[in-house]
Structure 1
Amino acid sequence: MDAFCTNLRSRAEALGISNAEAARRSGLSERRYAHYVSGDREPDLATLVRIAQALGMTPNQLLGVDETNEPSPRELLIQRVQSAAQGVSDGTLEIVATQVEALAGKRL
């Protein structure tokens, strides 16, 4: 499970979020999530899936089974937006979607 711990830390860092924020997005207490990050405990399958979804990964990627290439800077930015979107209300998400659509329609 060393790869799992490392991947939890590095993914949160890549998304620019704290472990506390990753825990919140996963629907876990900070203490429980900290046990996974430190390697003191291993999540059950349902929890693993929730964490992976919150971090925009597959369970295999999180476990280090899927050795895909590192995402491009653009892909990482898109993943950051997707991950952050999971943590906001529907009303806020509607505003963000409208803003992104407006920016995408703008030609420089």
Structure 2
Amino acid sequence: MNNQDFDLGTVKHFFEHDYHDRGMMKWQGFYLSDHTAALNQRNQQLNEIYVPRPQQSLAVITEVLADAYQRQQPVTIQLKTVDQNNRHWPDITTLIHGYNANDIVVDADRFIPLPEVRNVST
């Protein structure tokens, strides 16, 4: 087609009176695959039930943590903390970067108080 086949008056009338742009409505159902994958993973985490492991003594917890710190092995930590539905939070699997008398350092800026630890395993 060439420009001579179009009547600009007809085109102008179409866009002013007949064509209705839905704006953002046409994008509402459009999700990126990364976004849907993140949503699915988050829903799975929310629906997963973490079974409470046995409460370990402070001596056992500190022994396992000290051994893992010395060997630079990752540990799996279950906290005593529960959510509003009385379900345990997901376990934390991490390297131990340091510790003191009251806390474990699991990241450069994240401390876990020893009294909050329910169970530790390597």
Query: If the length of structure 1 is used for normalisation, what is the TM-score?
Result: 0.23
Larger strand proportion, structure 1 or 2?
2
Query: If the length of structure 2 is used for normalisation, what is the TM-score?
Result: 0.21
> Larger C-alpha radius of gyration, 1 or 2?
2
